Amino acid sequence: MASREPLLKDRIAIVTGAGKGLGAACAAELDSEGALVVVTDIDGDSAAKTAAGLTRGESAVCDVRDDAALAALVDDVVARHGRLDVMVANAGIATVTPIAEMSLEEWRSVLSVNLDGVFSSVRYAARAMAASGGGSIITMASVTGLAGSPLIGHYAAAKAAVISLTQTTAIEMRPHGVRINAVCPGFIGTELVTERAHLFEEGLGIEDFNAVIDMKQGRMGEVGDVAPLVTFLASDRSRFSTASAFVVDGGLTASLV
Amino acid sequence: MLSDLTDKRAVVTGAAQGLGRAVAELFIERGARVVLTDIDADALKQTVAELGDAAHAVPCDVTSETQVAESIRAAVELLGGLDIVVNNAGIEIGKPLVEQTVEEFDRLMAINVKGVFLGIKHATPALAAAGGGNIVNMASVAGLGGVPLLGSYCGSKAAVLRLTETAAIELRGVGIRVNAVCPSFIDTQMVERLVSPFEGATGAKFSDVVAVKQQRLGTSEEVAEMVAFLASDDARFVTGAHYTLDGGLTGSLF
């Protein structure tokens, strides 16, 4: 195959929650396609570490619950690089608790990161992109946003809302050349999932969480399974897609049983 | 490299023109060798001649089990194996449901649904023999909701989505991924044929509907990019999914 220009040559990208896990993998993939990636995380050291592994990486501390911090981050990136082309609103957290036993504080803590944080990331990115002629936003939703998800009801509700937020923003921003799509991974073997396997086993009354995952998805997902999709959506190759949700789950949601 | 198809061996049905041709063209550009099939042998011959050495023509009526089985056998022989099958062949009827004849309905279902079923059925042994592979079915946003004048087409594309999902689960164990692509209105002859009956039946300008719902017509190349992504190893954990490209059409209430 003939060599080609990197798909994201000189594009300016922000990935939130990219200190580790899925966000870090997305940052690496965008970097490999020529983008300059601003890696952000609430943990500045982990963000710096991810950025250090990139060809052209920068890092910044950012707590996505802090709306003013997101505004400042986007302003700073635009001031230094002239524009923002790609935003991956990835930062997210989870706990494992049935709804009936969940405190309002626990509910709000997850919603504040997984929904409010995406709202702030999306709106500041959308404004900046519209001002410079367009761009592509990718929200990290989840298959949990598509169906009931026992023990992670707050997480699932936030992800469902993220899909809705994605759709509405897409239609509103379409005249300004800003696309926005959601990515819905199945269960990916990051700390977020693996460290909580025993909680799912206890809460669901099953012996082996990983065996259930194998049955439903064929195998546990890997961060590298998701990152190319994010890059595809960031690139012009997906230019006619907006307001859509893209599932990457090994077949989990395709089957009723 | 994103959506790299170097040395992949593919079959694309309904590839003499339109979306199928665009898919075959892009696959070749990305390094694949492709058997194009079509019911129109003359148009197919012409297209293959234009696409160069990596393209091969195998005429095939996808409603005939014998011909589909034979086309897969021929592809395996021509390419030395098979990694990807794109079940693209399809037709539309642009009439109110109650005005469609049983003959028209049966023919559409035979091509759009039975053709995909036969493609999955007969490609599977060849893909499994290659150690796994993947199938991409051409569905449509018409499989996700109703569209006036396209009732039977909508039904057929909804059926394609259910076939896709079930096949994905059943074939996961042998390393075969099965996915669907859902384009909205694309700049093809199929959509061109719809404009006049659509305007007659709804009283709305088709171009206005397109502008409001999806901003512009999509292009065959854009559809081909989506198919290439799903067919590539970059989508290795994607199966049973339908990937939409519709300019926002299905993302909005109005």
Q: Which residues of B are catalytic?
A: 153
Could you tell me if A217 and A245 are in contact, meaning their C-beta atoms sit under 8 angstroms apart? no
Contact between A1 and B31 using a beta-carbon 8 Å cutoff: yes
- Residues 6+ positions from A66 with CB-CB distance below 8 Å: A120
Containing domain of residue B79, as a range?
Answer: 9-248
Token pair belonging to A172: 């509103």
B221 touches A at CB < 8 Å: no
Pick from A225, A240, A251: CB nearest B245: A240
- Cα distances (Å, whole numbers) of residue B226 to A84, A98, A238, A239: 25, 38, 7, 10
DSSP A237: G
Specify whether the CB–CB gap between A96 and A203 falls below 8 A.
yes
What is this structure's pTM? 0.96
Residue B183 forms beta bridges with which residues?
B245
Closest partner residue to A254 (CB to CB) among B240, B246, B251 is B240
Confirm whether B4 is domain-assigned.
no
* CATH for A47: 3.40.50.720
- The CB density around residue B66, as the number of other CB atoms within 10 Å, is 10
Residue B1 lies in a domain: no
pLDDT digits (tens, 9 = 90+) for A107-155: 999 999 999 999 999 999 999 999 999 999 999 999 999 999 999 999 9
A183 located within any domain:
yes
Task: Tell me whether residue B253 is in a domain.
Answer: no
Q: What is the pLDDT of residue B153?
A: 98
Tens of pLDDT along chain B (254 residues) come to: 789 999 999 999 999 999 999 999 999 999 999 999 999 999 999 999 999 999 999 999 999 999 999 999 999 999 999 999 999 999 999 999 999 999 999 999 999 999 999 999 999 999 999 999 999 999 999 999 999 999 999 999 999 999 999 999 999 999 999 999 999 999 999 999 999 999 999 999 999 999 999 999 999 999 999 999 999 999 999 999 999 999 999 999 98
Supply the pLDDT for residue B254: 84
SS3 assignment, position B186: strand
pLDDT in tens, B32-69: 999 999 999 999 999 999 999 999 999 999 999 999 99
Count interface pairs A-B at CB distance under 8 A: 117
Taking a C-beta distance cutoff of 8 angstroms, is the pair A106, A97 a contact?
yes
Q: Is the confidence at residue A1, as pLDDT, over 80?
A: no
User: Quick check: is B57 in a domain?
Assistant: yes
Containing B101, the helix (H) or strand (E) segment is: none
Domain count along chain A: 1
- Give pLDDT tens digits for B82-108: 999 999 999 999 999 999 999 999 999
Task: Flag whether A234 is in a domain.
Answer: yes
**B159 inside domain:** yes
| Burial label, B109 (beta-carbon count in 10 A; 0-12, 13-18, 19+) | middle
Is pLDDT of A233 > 90? yes
Residue B61: which CATH number? 3.40.50.720
Is residue A177 in some structural domain?
Answer: yes
Count of the separate structural domains present in chain B: 1
